[in-house]
Amino acid sequence: MRYRRAFVPGASYFFTVVTANRRPLFAEARDVDVLREAFRSVRAKRPFAIEAMVVMPDHLHCIWRLPPGDADFATRWRLIKSHVTRHLGSTFQNVWQNRYWEHLLRDEENLNRHLDYIHYNPVKHGLVGRAGDWPYSSYRYVVAGFYPNDWGQGDGPDLAGVGSE
């Protein structure tokens, strides 16, 4: 079976990218910094907006909005993964799973459910008790008024059917 990706210029996408064998590649701040540098480097050459992101020890989720007329997220991911591999590959032999998962965001409700999924992920995995306590997340929406101040505690939002883990 051949996998088909949806390439829509200027669209927003939700991505899940996983480390090889679920190894905790991003358990240390210095390794997360390598990932940040990879994103900065690629965005300088091939711009895109990061709408939301969470970096977990063994995977990451993010939402990108591509520029009008541009649907090439595949090259961006190849460059990001290559950068990280070059800088962390001597420490971690096989860095990434071969593929990644993407989902074309269809509407505002779909976007909001994926934003919730991203920001609640550290709580879901038992890494923190509140979404705002995870240091590698774009949970800045609390400050902007997107979420109420107590969001992301306890049982969390209804995330049925969202994500790929």
The token pair that represents 149 in the structure block: 């101040």
**Residue pLDDT, tens place only, 96-121:** 998 899 999 999 999 999 999 999 99
Tell me the C-alpha distance between 116 and 49, whole Å. Answer: 18
**Residue pLDDT, tens place only, 69-82:** 999 999 999 999 99
pLDDT of residue 94: 83
Using the predicted structure, report yes or no on whether residue 164 has a pLDDT greater than 60: no
Instruction: List CB contacts of 1: < 8 A, sequence separation 6 or more.
Output: none
Catalytic site positions: 136
pLDDT of residue 81: 96
pLDDT of residue 5: 80
CA nearest neighbour of 19 among 8, 7, 35: 35
pLDDT of residue 2: 58
CA nearest neighbour of 165 among 117, 96, 110, 107: 117
pLDDT of residue 160: 64
pLDDT of residue 78: 96
Mean pLDDT in the chain? 89
pLDDT of residue 141: 73
- Residue 153 — pLDDT band, cuts 50, 70, 90? confident
The CATH architecture annotation of domain 12-142 reads 2-Layer Sandwich (3.30)
**Residue pLDDT, tens place only, 49-63:** 999 999 999 999 999
Tell me the C-alpha distance between 8 and 56, whole Å. Answer: 27
pLDDT of residue 159: 65
Mean local confidence (pLDDT), 85-98: 83
